């Protein structure tokens, strides 16, 4: 009997929890499985670091809520308790008390009195009291943080003109003003190398004590030492069974960095890591992204463990190996074509564990390291995470979205049959070929299109992909199952660009983001240019708008025509034409259609944000205690996983 995999776990507030499969894990060798296991343990041990980075009361609040959740004997079916549960689930999801994306503090759906009752209902011994702290002390300290909207209201404040450090709740500075912090790091930057500057301040908390500015460095023996020691223990085990010398060196340098906190060692590690492209298993573990610091310096802790998706990477390799053929046959003027073109072979990976700032909400692509000088001298490593995209796609099936917006059964069937394949393929063509195709005429400034440059560039890459999706070459290369498949992407692209991407825009606003402008530009232009021949039309049925494509082959011709024009604009640096194209087609929103789309979307009750629970890895041993296998299972629930992590990896 075929086992069905349930991609959706649960939904609350504005969040949906999914799970992902790890295809290919069973086929790894025992040694590789052990390597994944050790690196996964190293990933999970860092969980508390991020909670503390996101706000200095987060850990105590989480522990308080968990103690009540586990030990409360009262009625768990009341509306108040359910609101309490939702609040705890949101704290887990955000790694703190602020929304993971919007950064605003969320408002509990229960009162301070109710929380007081809950606290009184459990034994004092299970409460997370600080040294010498009474229950009353704890409540006096934490209640304003939880309930008062004025206290720590934003995790990261970006409002121009305010002191961004003092007004942000993130725990990267203490008793320090923005001016003082900036001055402190300006001195460091001036003293250090100008050509190969390390990322100053990325692994420390900046505090002022007795009038003195001081960095509390995140390293063994320093801040977060208890968690970092555990991480290093697992990394040592991983190092001992590394796949090759290069990977061994990568892990050694990372351990050295955690021991010393030396940022030059971190750069050495980053360079070794980006050059390791041969290992099957790869990982990130460290202080990486700086979005959580209003000054963009302090890096939040995160980890991912992954291995190469050989099958999907083969797909991008096939595309790249044919780069010259695609360039030669594109519909753009020969003057704008590259004589020799090299495709980029993007690596597709399978995630095995997500942690820190990549859990539960995660990225689907990674491009690291972040150091500017390393990127320009040594390059970077770019990957897309195939099994997470798959999980998003599968979970979206049957959620009612397509049924609401797609014109008829015919298009629904097209999407069900082909969309997963053609969507990935369009991304591959965009990334591996689109951006790298074409050339500027001699003397044309690469920045000639100014503010319209990125929209035009995305349109160029998208159109390159759209044009070739319908090409017989793709069937020949075995990248699509048949000559009909491209229609799925054409339909969903037009529907998205003309209508459904509007769900991400607030009423009354225009389209601002470059990728969204590009999609609307292409879809609107094709609608208008094909109007006479009725290639694409908007059909109104029972008061609802739908997109209908009447002539797919002719739509391809239009995409080719627009590709030629967009390439001309880019190659000649024709600013005026770029401006007109973007302003005429990419920016303005039909307010009536916008309202209609928002209302239809709202009725579907879909959660706009998603995150994942991890699989569980368990060691299998024989009678002598030797490990014989590592098993992966996918049955753990959301609260169950969070509570287990809090039990097993509570290091701070």
For the bound state, the minimum distance from the C-beta of residue 419 to Zn ion, rounded and expressed in Å, comes to 20
Cα angle vertex 275, ends 274, 277, to 5°? 95
Q: List the interface residues with Zn ion, window 102-131 (CB under 5 A).
A: none
Q: What does the buried/exposed string (b/e) look like for 544-575 if buried means 16 or more CB atoms within 10 Å of the residue's CB?
A: ebbbbbeebebbbbbbbbbbbbbbbbbbbbbb
**Whose Cβ is closer to Zn ion: residue 456's or residue 536's?**
456
For the bound state, the minimum distance from the C-beta of residue 502 to Zn ion, rounded and expressed in Å, comes to 21
Closest CA relative to residue 12, chosen from 97, 87, 80: 87
**Whose Cβ is closer to Zn ion: residue 355's or residue 461's?**
461
Distance of CA 9 to the CA centre of its chain: 19
Give the H or E element holding residue 367: strand 365-368
Cis peptide before 223 (omega within 30 of 0): no
**Whose Cβ is closer to Zn ion: residue 346's or residue 461's?**
461
Window 403-442: contact mask with Zn ion (x via CB under 5 A): ----------------------------------------
Length reported for the chain: 652
**Whose Cβ is closer to Zn ion: residue 461's or residue 535's?**
461
* d(C-alpha 391, C-alpha 9), whole Å: 12
The residue range among 214-222, 311-319, 454-462, 485-493 that interacts with Zn ion, by the rule CB under 5 A, is 454-462
For the bound state, the minimum distance from the C-beta of residue 140 to Zn ion, rounded and expressed in Å, comes to 51
**Whose Cβ is closer to Zn ion: residue 349's or residue 429's?**
429
**Whose Cβ is closer to Zn ion: residue 344's or residue 505's?**
344
Q: Residue 386 in contact with residue 364, Cβ under 8 Å? A: no
Q: Determine whether 605 is exposed, middle or buried from the number of CB atoms within 10 Å of its CB (0-12, 13-18, 19+).
A: exposed
For the bound state, the minimum distance from the C-beta of residue 3 to Zn ion, rounded and expressed in Å, comes to 37
Window 343-382: contact mask with Zn ion (x via CB under 5 A): ----------------------------------------
CB closest to Zn ion, residue no: 461
**Whose Cβ is closer to Zn ion: residue 276's or residue 462's?**
462
Q: Determine whether 327 is exposed, middle or buried from the number of CB atoms within 10 Å of its CB (0-12, 13-18, 19+).
A: buried
For the bound state, the minimum distance from the C-beta of residue 12 to Zn ion, rounded and expressed in Å, comes to 33
**Whose Cβ is closer to Zn ion: residue 357's or residue 424's?**
424
CA dist list (Å): 277 to 42, 346, 374, 484, 619? 21, 11, 16, 36, 28
For the bound state, the minimum distance from the C-beta of residue 320 to Zn ion, rounded and expressed in Å, comes to 16
For the bound state, the minimum distance from the C-beta of residue 458 to Zn ion, rounded and expressed in Å, comes to 5
The residue range among 170-178, 284-292, 439-447, 453-461 that interacts with Zn ion, by the rule CB under 5 A, is 453-461
Can you tell me whether residue 165 is helix, strand or coil? coil
Torsions phi, psi of 153, nearest 5?
Answer: -75, -25
Window 459-478: contact mask with Zn ion (x via CB under 5 A): --x-----------------
Can you tell me whether residue 56 is helix, strand or coil? coil
Which stretches does DSSP call E strand in 157-290? 173-174, 204-209, 212-217, 281-289
**Whose Cβ is closer to Zn ion: residue 181's or residue 569's?**
569
**Whose Cβ is closer to Zn ion: residue 64's or residue 461's?**
461
For the bound state, the minimum distance from the C-beta of residue 30 to Zn ion, rounded and expressed in Å, comes to 40
Size of the site for Zn ion (CB under 5 A): 1
For the bound state, the minimum distance from the C-beta of residue 154 to Zn ion, rounded and expressed in Å, comes to 31
All residues at 6 or more sequence positions from 249 whose CB lies less than 8 Å from its CB, including other chains: 272
CA dist list (Å): 12 to 7, 9, 361, 609? 16, 11, 14, 10
For the bound state, the minimum distance from the C-beta of residue 347 to Zn ion, rounded and expressed in Å, comes to 17
List of residues contacting Zn ion (CB under 5 A): 461
């Amino acid at each position: 009997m075929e086992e069905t995999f349930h991609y959706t776990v649960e939904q609350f507030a504005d969040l949906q929890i999914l799970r992902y499969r790890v295809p290919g894990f069973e086929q790894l060798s025992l040694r590789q499985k052990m390597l994944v296991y050790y690196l996964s343990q190293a990933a999970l041990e860092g969980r508390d670091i991020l909670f503390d980075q996101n706000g200095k009361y987060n850990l105590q609040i989480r522990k308080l809520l968990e103690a009540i959740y586990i030990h409360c004997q009262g009625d768990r079916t009341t509306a108040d308790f359910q609101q309490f549960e939702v609040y705890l689930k949101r704290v887990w999801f955000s790694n703190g008390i602020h929304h993971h994306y919007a950064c605003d503090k969320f408002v509990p759906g229960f009162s301070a009195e109710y929380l007081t009752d809950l606290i009184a209902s459990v034994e004092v011994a299970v409460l997370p009291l600080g040294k010498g702290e009474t229950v009353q002390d704890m409540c006096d300290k934490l209640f304003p943080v939880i309930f008062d909207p004025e206290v720590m209201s934003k995790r990261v404040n970006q409002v121009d003109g305010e002191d961004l450090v003092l007004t942000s709740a993130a725990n990267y500075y203490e008793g320090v003003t923005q001016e003082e912090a900036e001055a402190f790091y300006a001195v460091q930057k001036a003293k250090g190398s100008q050509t190969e500057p390390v990322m100053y301040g990325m692994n420390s908390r900046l505090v002022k004590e007795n009038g003195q500015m001081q960095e509390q460095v995140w390293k063994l023996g320093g801040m977060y030492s208890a968690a970092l020691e555990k991480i290093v223990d697992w990394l040592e085990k991983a190092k001992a069974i590394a796949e090759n010398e290069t990977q061994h060196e990568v892990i050694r340098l990372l351990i050295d960095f955690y021991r010393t906190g030396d940022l030059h060692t971190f750069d050495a590690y980053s360079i070794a890591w980006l050059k390791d492209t041969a290992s099957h298993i790869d990982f990130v573990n460290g202080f990486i992204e700086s979005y959580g610091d209003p000054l963009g310096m302090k890096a939040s802790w995160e980890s991912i463990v992954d291995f190469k998706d050989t099958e999907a990477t083969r797909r991008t390799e096939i595309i790249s190996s044919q780069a010259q053929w695609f360039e030669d046959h594109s519909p753009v003027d020969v003057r704008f074509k590259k004589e020799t073109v090299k495709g980029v072979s993007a690596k597709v990976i399978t995630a095995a564990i997500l942690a820190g700032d990549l859990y539960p909400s995660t990225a689907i692509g990674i491009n690291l390291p972040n150091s500017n000088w390393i990127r320009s001298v040594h390059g970077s490593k770019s990957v897309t995470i195939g099994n997470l995209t798959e999980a998003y796609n599968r979970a979206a099936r049957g959620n009612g979205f397509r049924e609401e917006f797609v014109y008829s059964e015919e298009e629904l069937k097209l999407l069900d049959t082909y969309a997963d394949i053609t969507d990935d393929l369009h991304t591959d063509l965009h990334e591996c070929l689109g951006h790298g195709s074409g050339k500027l005429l001699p003397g044309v400034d690469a920045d000639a299109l100014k503010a319209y440059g990125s929209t035009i560039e995305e349109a160029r890459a998208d159109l390159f992909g759209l044009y070739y999706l319908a090409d017989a070459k793709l069937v020949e290369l075995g990248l699509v199952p048949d000559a009909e498949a491209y229609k799925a992407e054409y339909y969903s692209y037009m529907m998205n660009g003309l209508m459904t991407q509007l769900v991400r825009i607030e009423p009354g606003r225009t389209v601002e983001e470059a990728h969204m402008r590009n999609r609307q530009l292409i879809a609107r232009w094709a609608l208008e240019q094909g109007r006479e021949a009725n290639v694409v039309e908007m059909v109104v049925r029972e008061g609802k708008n739908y997109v209908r494509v009447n002539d797919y082959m002719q739509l391809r011709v239009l995409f080719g025509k627009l590709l030629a024009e967009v390439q001309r604009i880019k190659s000649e640096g024709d600013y005026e034409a770029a401006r007109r194209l973007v302003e005429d087609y990419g920016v303005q929103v039909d307010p009536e259609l916008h309202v209609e789309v928002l209302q239809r979307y709202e009725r579907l009750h879909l959660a706009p944000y998603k995150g994942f629970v991890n699989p569980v890895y368990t060691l299998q041993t024989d009678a002598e205690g030797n490990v014989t296998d590592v098993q992966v299972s996918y049955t753990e629930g959301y609260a169950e996983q969070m509570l287990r992590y809090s039990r097993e990896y509570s290091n701070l």
